[in-house]
Amino acid sequence: MEKRKLVLTIIGVVILAMVIMVYIYFSKPGKDEKKNQQTINQVQTVQQKTNEKKENTEKNTSGDELENVTPGSEEYRGFLLDNVLHSPNEGDIHYNVYIPDAYDGTKEYALYVTLTGYQGLYFQGVGENIRTEDFGFEAQKYITDMIIVAPQLNDWGQTSADQTIELTQYFLTHYIINPSKVYINGYSGGGETLSLVLAKQPELYTAALMCSSQWDGAYEPVVEIKTPVYFVIGESDEYYGSEPFKEAYQQIHELYKEQGLSESEIDKLVVLDVKDKDYFEGTPVTYQHGGGYLFCRDKEIMGWLFNQ
């Protein structure tokens, strides 16, 4: 009798243990459920970061939504690509923009506008200007607190110049920008656009860097405002040659002389930097018109711009 009771007790304990184990097994999330939940959490985290980034881009310093701007959704090396300013006067203006994470509108930032050469126009692909040129990335080494705007325009003529001016004014109006630290550069065809910008509203810019290009605009407005300009080009540039820059430099130099400025004063306002073949030897650049690759990495050239 005692033996039978012992057997029944053991059987009861075993059954109870089995019931508990089954309950625990079915009450735990399965592997697939765990994996799905992990994926959901990751998606929510990414979505939250994306929304925060987009919110920061869409809002100005007062927290109000920026009017007439459609923000982009793709990023490339810190730049938000294909934002569109819907201008009632100049139409849709496509641009890529780098806004430092630290920017919160509590202090003034510098502004840098970089105008692309061929292969970087909008019809050639979103973000192609900053994928093929490094001015916007190299500039970050000189001023940390700086917003960088890389317009993707459709040509190098007056329309693009007007859109560049409109975009510059937009950032000056909607962001906290130090008006004494507004820089601009143009490379190749972008330099032609830059010359038209400076011929129309040079007062917007602290200094301008013209690389491997030619001057298409008037000289007098630049001289009147005294906006410093740096010309740099290869002596035997395959596309433009160096003569157009030499001519532009001479014209501006003479206009300053007519104003009675001394040579030392003029040297601070206009610089001509013609690179001979030795500058390009031993570098990745195989032709002089591709000098933009070197110029944006040249501390003397870029340092001149951002020290103005």
Q: How many CA atoms lie within 13 A of 292 on its CB side?
A: 27
Q: How far apart are CA 208 and CA 46, in angstroms?
A: 39
**Residue that the structure tokens 């002389």 belong to:** 257
90-117, pLDDT tens digit by residue?
A: 999 999 999 999 999 999 999 999 999 9
Model pLDDT, residue 120: 86
Phi, psi torsion values for 49, nearest 5 degrees: -65, -40
Q: How far apart are CA 252 and CA 219, in angstroms?
A: 6
In percent, the amount of the chain with pLDDT more than 90 equals 76
Tokens linked to 171:
């950032």
Model pLDDT, residue 105: 94
> What is the pLDDT confidence band of residue 67, given thresholds at 50, 70 and 90?
low
Looking at the predicted structure, is the pLDDT value of residue 44 above 60?
Answer: no
Say which residues have a Cβ less than 8 Å from residue 285's Cβ, sequence separation at least 6.
Answer: 291, 293, 294
pTM over 0.95: no
For residue 173, with 0-12 CB atoms within 10 Å meaning exposed, 13-18 middle and 19 or more buried, which class applies? exposed
Dihedral through CA 209, CA 212, CA 216, CA 220, nearest 10? 40
190-209, pLDDT tens digit by residue?
A: 999 999 999 999 999 999 99
Tell me if 289 sits within 8 A of 232, measured CB to CB.
no
Model pLDDT, residue 119: 85
Model pLDDT, residue 18: 52
135-159, pLDDT tens digit by residue?
A: 999 999 999 999 999 999 999 899 9
Q: How many CA atoms lie within 13 A of 133 on its CB side?
A: 30
Looking at the predicted structure, is the pLDDT value of residue 118 above 50?
Answer: yes
